[in-house]
Amino acid sequence: MKKLFTAATLATLTPLATYAQEATVDEQINAAFSSSTGWFVNLIFMNIPGTSFPWIVMWLVIGASIFTVYFGLIQVRAFGHAISLVKGDYSDPDDAGEVSHFQALTTALSGTVGLGNIAGVAVAVGIGGPGATFWMVLAGLLGMASKFTECTLGVKYRNEYPDGTVSGGPMYYMVKGFKERNLPGGGVLAVLFSVFCILGALGGGNMFQANQAHAQISGIVGDYPGWMTGVVFAIVVFLVIVGGIKSIASVTEKVVPFMGVMYVVVAFIILLVNYDKIGWAFGQIFAGAFTGLGVAGGFVGALIQGFKRAAFSNEAGVGSAAIAHSAVRTKEPVTEGVVSLLEPFIDTVVICTMTALVITISGVLVIDPATGLYVLNEAGSSIQTTDGSSGVQLTSAAFATGFSWFPYVLAIAVILFAFSTMISWSYYGLKAWTYLVGEGKTKELIFKLIFCVFIVIGAAAQLGAVIDFSDAMIFAMAVVNITALYCLMPVVKREMESYFGRLKSGEIVKHKH
């Protein structure tokens, strides 16, 4: 593992500047990556035989459905309590100064709210039509139960060290939880998870972000070599994660939520202005969800796109959130699980739906006036858009119908979202890394340096294969994590029943403020 990374680091450090210009290097890396990792990518995204449905999407949705049933619609029952917890109603005043539920939630959110909400949704609606929104919301609602399960376990089995720091995440509940229940294989799962998590952090949490941020910037200022973006990003990330310059991180952590709120507010205003079309848009969403309205792949296409984008966007079941949420100060692990179920709600049900509604209402998707169905593009792969754009550009175009200046704000938002996602994933990757190789300043520094190098690679090269691979890695985390969740869900149920029992009996009460 380590050798592979060292080799990769050396290989990339030397010809760094030549990367962007010499397509041959890109192609070589692409080819090498495809041939060695392609089988894994194909395995992860393989369709269920006889369908065009990737099994991994099914895996996440079935997992989420099982947790939803097993915990008796926890996402509905505990929703009000979750808000109460975030407001601090149940926080012990003597714990003031510790990590609050609000902080744990927002930290985790800044890792998930990002390109998935902006670019991913546009892809889903572009290919699957407005009906994809319905399935996306459904997957988001179900995913709340997955988050609840993993975050409760994350807090319950976290490590608290003598110096007062805490470390938690799937690798810890896999080892400790399995041991407690006398189940075999916890250690193996933990190692597998850590390996996937490191690669997922370098890929989806890093290269993909850098790559998309560069695409967005060059879309506005004109084309220029990607390594320039990469180097700037890498320097800033380096200053934060290696140099410990907290001010940059805290500025981002403050601006990102602001951007998120602004995004929703602007979307809301556009919807208000077009209030007469909202009924129609919902009609499109419901009709499209079951009939497809003539989009690529019909009804199944809408369903797959919706489910897939929700999973990409909110990471429910992936295990990353369990790392982020485990630092909270609470005596009851269930409370953090309850708080965490707000995450897919905010990310998918609110922000993604807003994006989808704006795209639908704005009229950027071309409709055939005669039939009322969507017009497919020449390739027949997605819906024809008024300006031929897709992804971030499509969202941008849709918002621009309401506010012409919005694409600039969106560009800034994309950059900040990408940056905050990188900071979050550098931490997730680091946790997995130290789990494998042990803690220590030098060991941590090695990972952080590798992480920064991969930012440059991600922004500079058109490494489609590498990006596919990193997406596959994030889903591979989910395969390992959900397996562990199935084994440990009785523990969560016990905790949940005990906690809500005491809440009902009045043993747990609100603190006065």
97 counts as binding other proteins under rule CB under 8 A: yes
Out of 266, 323, 338, 416, name the contact with other proteins by CB under 8 A.
323
Give residue 439's identity as a one-letter amino acid code.
E
Contact 414, 115 (CB under 8 A): yes
Out of 63, 111, 131, 288, name the contact with other proteins by CB under 8 A.
111
Using CA atoms in the order 327, 329, 331, 335, what is the torsion angle rounded to 10 degrees?
-80
342 counts as binding other proteins under rule CB under 8 A: no
327 counts as binding other proteins under rule CB under 8 A: yes
Please, which residue, 413 or 423, has the CB nearer to other proteins? Answer: 423
Please, which residue, 205 or 226, has the CB nearer to other proteins? Answer: 205
Q: Considering the complex, what minimum distance in angstroms separates the CB of residue 351 from other proteins?
A: 17
Give residue 11's identity as a one-letter amino acid code.
A
Q: Considering the complex, what minimum distance in angstroms separates the CB of residue 123 from other proteins?
A: 28
Give the x/- contact pattern for other proteins in 445-484, rule: CB under 8 A.
Answer: ----------------------------------------
362 counts as binding other proteins under rule CB under 8 A: no
**Judged by CB under 8 A, which stretch of 11-19, 107-115, 399-407, 485-493 contacts other proteins?**
107-115
Q: Considering the complex, what minimum distance in angstroms separates the CB of residue 193 from other proteins?
A: 17
Please, which residue, 96 or 272, has the CB nearer to other proteins? Answer: 96
Q: Pick the closest to residue 491 from 182, 185, 61, 108 (CA basis).
A: 182
Residues numbered 47 to 76 that lie near other proteins (CB under 8 A) are none
Out of 37, 68, 75, 107, name the contact with other proteins by CB under 8 A.
107
Rounded Cα distance between 489 and 70, Å, is 9
**Long-range CB contacts (within 8 A, 24+) of 239-242:** 240/423, 241/423, 241/426, 241/427, 241/448, 241/451, 241/452, 242/445, 242/448, 242/449, 242/452
Give the x/- contact pattern for other proteins in 412-451, rule: CB under 8 A.
Answer: -----------xx--xx-----------------------
259 counts as binding other proteins under rule CB under 8 A: no
Out of 253, 366, 384, 493, name the contact with other proteins by CB under 8 A.
253
Q: Considering the complex, what minimum distance in angstroms separates the CB of residue 165 from other proteins?
A: 5
Locate 491 and state its tokens.
């523990």
Q: Tell me the helices (H) and strands (E) count for the chain, helix number first.
A: 26, 2
Residues listed for the chain: 513
Rounded Cα distance between 51 and 246, Å, is 49
Sorted by sequence, the CB contacts under 8 Å of residue 371 that are 6+ apart come out as 294
163 counts as binding other proteins under rule CB under 8 A: yes
Q: Considering the complex, what minimum distance in angstroms separates the CB of residue 84 from other proteins?
A: 14
Rounded Cα distance between 134 and 73, Å, is 19
User: How far is residue 386 CA from its own chain's centroid?
Assistant: 29
Give the x/- contact pattern for other proteins in 233-252, rule: CB under 8 A.
Answer: -------xx----x--xx--
**Judged by CB under 8 A, which stretch of 27-35, 91-99, 337-345, 403-411 contacts other proteins?**
91-99
Kind and range of the H or E element at 167?
strand 166-167
Give the torsion sign (CA, 495, 57, 429, 208).
negative
Out of 324, 364, 413, 456, name the contact with other proteins by CB under 8 A.
324
103 counts as binding other proteins under rule CB under 8 A: yes
Q: Which residues pair with 365 in a beta bridge?
A: 385
Q: How far is CA 238 from CA 10, 230, 421, 423, 446, in A?
A: 18, 12, 14, 10, 12
Out of 91, 112, 353, 470, name the contact with other proteins by CB under 8 A.
91
Out of 13, 46, 96, 220, name the contact with other proteins by CB under 8 A.
96
Q: Considering the complex, what minimum distance in angstroms separates the CB of residue 7 from other proteins?
A: 28
Sorted by sequence, the CB contacts under 8 Å of residue 240 that are 6+ apart come out as 246, 248, 249, 423
Sorted by sequence, the CB contacts under 8 Å of residue 331 that are 6+ apart come out as none
104 counts as binding other proteins under rule CB under 8 A: yes
Please, which residue, 245 or 269, has the CB nearer to other proteins? Answer: 245
Q: Could you tell me how many residues of this chain bind other proteins (CB under 8 A)?
A: 37
Please, which residue, 244 or 506, has the CB nearer to other proteins? Answer: 244
Locate 4 and state its tokens.
């592979």
**In terms of DSSP bridges, do strands 166-167 and 159-160 run parallel, antiparallel, or are they unpaired?**
antiparallel
Rounded Cα distance between 46 and 406, Å, is 38
Residue ranges that bind other proteins, judged by CB under 8 A: 88, 91, 96-100, 102-104, 106-107, 110-111, 163-167, 240-241, 246, 249-250, 253-254, 256-257, 323-324, 327-329, 423-424, 427-428
